[in-house]
Amino acid sequence: MNAIVHKNLGEIIDYSNIPSHVAIIMDGNGRWARKINKERFFGHNRGINSVKESIDVSIELGIETLTLFAFSMENWKRPKSEINALMTLLSSSIENELKSIIENNIKLNVIGDLDLVPKKTRDKLLNAIIKTKNNDGLNLNLAVSYGAKQELVRAIKIISHKVKKNIISEENIDEETINEHLYTENSKNVDLLIRTGGEFRVSNFLLWQISYAELNFQKVLWPDFKKYHFLNAIIDYQNRTRRFGKIHA
């Protein structure tokens, strides 16, 4: 998309109504690569550009939290070769981008079961979390080895353990208790969920946190997702009426 199109979309955006928390299911890398007769990995690699562009747009718009679905719990069922390639891509991208992540005041958080992630990748992720922990710009949650159902099971186990140990009393368990025991403990609920790649499903992503999110499904395959598509999703969001069950005059 050219700069003029961007400029026009930028002018339509209402800067007083920017979603605080945007989550993206970055889907379609494999199909993007197959369309041009390349290996699936080529698409994953190219998808990194879209990740960078989405982060830049989020900073530009003043979005507080961006949560990106990079690797699902179910993705562990893919062939070993693809898993290895994705884990290597993840660690090399973090390594290459860490300086710029720090300079851009981004606070990186990783959500998911890191115990399953190979040590080399895990160490790179943990190092980036530590190095950015005092940053107070964009909160970037990277969902790696993440599944929403598994996240809920984990939260329930921690809570029941605390009940047993009298740290929490059963009567006091409420929505906030659940929020505090999810990987996303510090993030607000999702306002806008975007999924690229043309599928109309949420694939076990943030089930609790998207309970009142606005949903935006786009056909575009992730490596083709640019600022133009992100701004369109924001404009679409701004044209929704969020009633939260109430009646609007």
Q: Which residues bind ligand IPE (CB under 6 A)?
A: 25-31, 69-72, 74-75, 86, 197, 199, 201, 203, 222
Beta strands in 17-124 (DSSP E): 21-25, 65-72, 107-111
26 binds, among Mg ion, ligand IPE, none (CB under 5 to 8 A by kind): ligand IPE
Handedness of CA 51, 53, 58, 59 (dihedral sign): positive
Task: Identify which of residues 109 and 145 has a Cβ nearer to Mg ion in the complex.
Answer: 145
Contact between 205 and Mg ion (CB under 5 A)?
Answer: no
Torsion (CA) 110, 74, 63, 2 in degrees, nearest 10: 120
Say if residues 47 and 25 touch (Cβ distance below 8 Å).
Answer: no
Tokens in use for 220? 């575009």
Give the footprint of Mg ion on residues 27-46 (CB under 5 A): 27
Residue 75 annotated to the active site: yes
In the complex, the smallest distance separating the C-beta of residue 47 from ligand IPE, rounded to whole angstroms, is: 7
Q: Which of 103, 104, 121, 99 is nearest to 112 (CA)?
A: 121
In the complex, the smallest distance separating the C-beta of residue 82 from ligand IPE, rounded to whole angstroms, is: 8
Tokens in use for 180? 């505090």
Task: Identify which of residues 19 and 30 has a Cβ nearer to ligand IPE in the complex.
Answer: 30
Task: Identify which of residues 69 and 237 has a Cβ nearer to ligand IPE in the complex.
Answer: 69
Say if residues 24 and 196 touch (Cβ distance below 8 Å).
Answer: yes
Q: Which of 197, 154, 145, 152 is nearest to 24 (CA)?
A: 197
25 binds, among Mg ion, ligand IPE, none (CB under 5 to 8 A by kind): ligand IPE
In the complex, the smallest distance separating the C-beta of residue 235 from Mg ion, rounded to whole angstroms, is: 26
Catalytic residue among 49, 75, 127, 204: 75
Catalytic residue among 27, 29, 109, 232: 27
Residues carrying an active site annotation: 27, 75
Binding site for Mg ion (CB under 5 A): 27
